[in-house]
Chain A
Amino acid sequence: MGRILPGLIVGLIFGAGLALSDMVNPARVLAFLDLAGAWDPTLMFVMGAAILPAAIAQLIRRRLRSPLLEDRFSVPESRRLDRELMLGAALFGIGWGLVGFCPGPASAGLVLGAWQPWVFVAAMLAGMSVHSFALSRITR
């Protein structure tokens, strides 16, 4: 319970934010990405507003020796820009631009009455499996 409850509550706040800001609606996301169409700035406001508390947390973190519920902070420290990072981000962007779903909004949208998030999330899990299978083949 010690780890489940914080996970659930934080996920709930995150999901509420995605629904309130309409990021669960792919049409809203695509309208932001469509610079040559009827451009909708919503995503820019959402992301800007989201970065603010996340950045404040970074400042608070520097004054803490450990997080409140665990022994230490485990944040990725790598600064290296490699081919995997850039290729992965490029492929993710293509998928995102094709329909307007990314992982969080698609998951939060599962219960809003549309069937499309279910198909997308299932395909996303399949895509993740393909990656881990390919990785196990390469590194073996």
Chain B
Amino acid sequence: MEPLTPFSAIAGGLLIGSAAALFLLLTGRIAGISGMTAIASGVGSGGTPRSQAAAFLLGLPIGSAIVALFVRQPEIDVTSSLPLLIIAGLLVGFGTRLGNGCTSGHGVCGVARLSPRSIAATAMFMASAVATVFLARHVIGG
């Protein structure tokens, strides 16, 4: 995997954060993707109207397709097996509902507004993800 230029990382991050900023100032709500996925799919309910959550989620692949067509084509390198993908998806779906958020709602929006819940959740999912990768790559898979 080629190292990414810091420009792309920072420009991409600024776009993500600007989207979250716009969403707050326009709609008054947190741009949390797991929450909006639950609302759009009818699994959960919340502050964002269903049509708006669905439109936001539709925008995600459109935005990435525009970048892929005109700026850079990102690769998706996945070495995980099908069963592992399913287990991971189940854990992410269940965990983000139980914990009320994911990398966007807690990690970006929540940390930016210094929410104690989001800071604690972000520290927890970072730590558990780091521990999982360590176990998978250096203990079990090593």
Contact = CB atoms under 8 A, between A and B. Distances in A.
Interface of A: 3-28, 30-31, 33-37, 40, 42, 45-58, 60-61, 64, 66-70, 72-76, 78-81, 84-104, 107-114, 116-117, 119-132
Contacts of A99: 78, 80, 84-85, 88
A60 B28 CA distance: 12
Nearest to A6: B26
B64 A93 contact: no
Interface string B88-106: 1111111111111011101
A86 B120 CA distance: 8
A74 B17 CA distance: 18
Contacts, number: 486
A61 B114 CA distance: 14
28 contacts: A3-B49, A4-B51, A7-B55, A16-B64, A17-B12, A18-B16, A28-B4, A33-B133, A40-B4, A46-B12, A57-B22, A69-B26, A75-B24, A80-B117, A89-B99, A89-B124, A94-B132, A95-B90, A97-B128, A97-B133, A100-B78, A102-B92, A107-B33, A107-B37, A107-B61, A126-B89, A127-B97, A130-B93
Nearest to A129: B43
Contacts of A19: 12, 63-64, 67-68, 71-72, 74
Contacts of B51: 3-4, 7
Contacts of A50: 13-14, 16-17, 20, 108
Interface of B: 1, 3-4, 6, 8-31, 33-34, 37-38, 41, 43-44, 47-49, 51-68, 71-80, 82, 84-100, 102-104, 106-109, 111-113, 115-117, 120-122, 124-134, 136-138
A47 B59 contact: no
B26 A49 contact: no
Nearest to A114: B76
Contact of B76 (A11, A86, A112): A112
A127 B58 CA distance: 20
Contacts of A54: 17, 20-21, 24, 108-109, 112-113
B88 A35 contact: no
Contacts of A4: 51-52, 55
Contacts of A88: 94-100, 121
A45 B28 CA distance: 26
